[in-house]
Chains A and B, each alone.
Chain A
Amino acid sequence: MNEASPARAYALHLGVIALLFALSFVLPEYYHGLLARIMVLAVFAMGYNMLFGYVGLLSLGHAMFFGAGLYGAGLAIIQLGWGVPLAFLGGIACGAVLALVIGLLALRTTGVAFMIVTMMFAQVFYLLILYFAAWTGGDQGQVVPQPARVLNLGATSLDLTNPTVRYMSALVLFSLVLLVMLAIVRSRYGRVLVAIRENEERTKMLGYDTFSNKLMAVVVSGTICAASGAAYALLFGYVGSSFASVQYSILPLLWVLLGGAATTLGPLIGTVFMYYVIDVTSGYTSAYLLIVGIALILLVLFFPKGILGSIRQRWLGWLP
């Protein structure tokens, strides 16, 4: 994958970014807002994919990294009165530190034990949010006030509650993370991560310290998820404990599985697909989850590697 035509891969990714940019001008208002949200959550899915898709570590606790970014940024504004850029960086830093600590502890396990340990840590994080309700707002959550969500850049100021600014901010974050992911996947480090996924014991015997490499991957993954959470708090103005619940640990797994694990664009496709299936079906029937379930079963039966994973396997082997 590494030496195969880089130009085509970069052209495809830049094309996707350009398409998302163009969509901003044609989408009706409702879908415009929805797509902005999807792009932020796709960043969450990309962070998850880094660990699940490339390193093969299935975490059931990534809601805590999203939550760390969400609360790190949100509470910095609400409780500490920080500005937007600082709060955003603060949220990311919270996620990075949390990921480092969790990684050091959880990576002593693998497989099912890793799933359980990460899930337990995420539950602890969730319960801590409820416990410190005086500060966090508990299960009610808190709204980040509109005046605090303005980014002052010298003379001009960007109001993050403005739909266009919000969409473009989400797009900038999405594009940055997408290109970073592409670079990681194509790098030597990416090759080592895939090797660990395929056969960790063999990778060790090629002289690689697999623990350090995995720890690094957990930190990068957690940091990306925290960036998504921090952006969510700033762009959509709500900081709530449901985002740290177990449901938000399973959603990125579903998005990645749908779109295609270990593909750079799979997380976006999976997130879009899931949101639009729910959106379309809920317009026809109140039993829309039934239809979503059937769609998921059909996908697993006919596209076991996810949408993009199957396309790569059957037709486009060069997809990164």
Chain B
Amino acid sequence: MTPLLATNGLSRHFGGLRAVDSVDFTLMPGEIRAVIGPNGAGKTTFVSLVSGRIQPSSGVIVFDGADITSQPAYVRVRQGIAYTFQITSVFANLSAYDNVALPVQRTLSEGRSKGAVKAGVMTALERTGLADRAHMPAGQLSYGHQRLLEVAMGLALKPRLLILDEPTQGLADSEIDNFIALVREIARSATVLLIEHNMPVVMQLADRITVFNAGKILAEGTPEAIRENAAVQEAYLGTAP
């Protein structure tokens, strides 16, 4: 089985800082993979390289068997890599409907009718529980709902790989439970790459966990193995006595 995503020697340097340092990473189709690590470990830089928002200093990115290293971000999105932003980045002045209509109208392959857009938009909004807020300007939604709108936009792209960058940040506990259910449902049709700080969420969702530290992969394995890993504990909690 070919990996959906593989990186080989992927690096990105900012001046002298090696934000991502020679990372070899593989992700199999259908997985829910969590990426964790201390602040500044290079997690967001890594997924930004994968999504094409920034260019690597060196290394290769392979998506579904094809080298996509030199492709601009919008081409990667069309091939099925969707990225939801860490810092909520919905179109604040547009309605929730229009926010989701943008990805829907682009992915629409058949049926150019207005009805097809509307159906697609409402499906994505219903899956994220935002249907009754369709006509509110996105900027007036609560923070938690804006995060869900981000996810709805990602869903509407019909991705094969959905990258969620700290999706539960700022969500209330009650919203987090719904969110976990939502990601499980998404994972039935897409591979999920999840950057997350909330450990209970990671432990419940992830099939496997990759731990970043100082731009490198420190460890990788099942949630149980990562929990027991001494090096990971050291990176998170400081040097063991």
For A204, what are the chain B residues with a Cβ–Cβ distance below 8 Å? 72-74, 77
Q: Which residue of A lies closest to B159 (CB)?
A: A207
Given contacts A3-B97, A3-B114, contact A206 B103 (CB under 8 A): yes
A191 at interface by CB-CB < 8 Å: yes
- Complex Cα–Cα for A203 and B77 (A): 11
Given contacts A3-B118, A195-B91, A198-B92, contact A206 B101 (CB under 8 A): no
Q: Are A205 and B94 in contact (CB under 8 A)?
A: no
- Complex Cα–Cα for A188 and B108 (A): 12
Prevailing SS type, chain B contact patch? helix
Prevailing SS type, chain A contact patch? helix
- Complex Cα–Cα for A102 and B86 (A): 36
A210 at interface by CB-CB < 8 Å: yes
B53 at interface by CB-CB < 8 Å: yes
Q: Are B73 and A205 in contact (CB under 8 A)?
A: yes
Q: A-facing mask of B77-96, CB < 8 A → 1, else 0?
A: 11000110100011111100
Q: Are A199 and B89 in contact (CB under 8 A)?
A: yes
For A194, what are the chain B residues with a Cβ–Cβ distance below 8 Å? 94, 98
**What's the A-B contact tally at a CB cutoff of 8 Å?**
62
Q: Are B89 and A208 in contact (CB under 8 A)?
A: no
Interface size on B, residues (CB 8 A): 29
Chain B CB count within 10 A is highest, among A188, A195, A199, A205, for A205
For B73, what are the chain A residues with a Cβ–Cβ distance below 8 Å? 204-205
Given contacts A198-B93, A199-B89, A206-B77, contact A191 B105 (CB under 8 A): yes
- Complex Cα–Cα for A2 and B51 (A): 30
9 example contacts (A-B, Cβ-Cβ < 8 A) are as follows: A2-B101, A195-B102, A199-B89, A204-B72, A204-B73, A206-B106, A207-B74, A208-B106, A210-B74
Q: Residues of A with Cβ closer than 8 Å to B? A: 1-3, 188, 191-192, 194-195, 198-199, 201-210
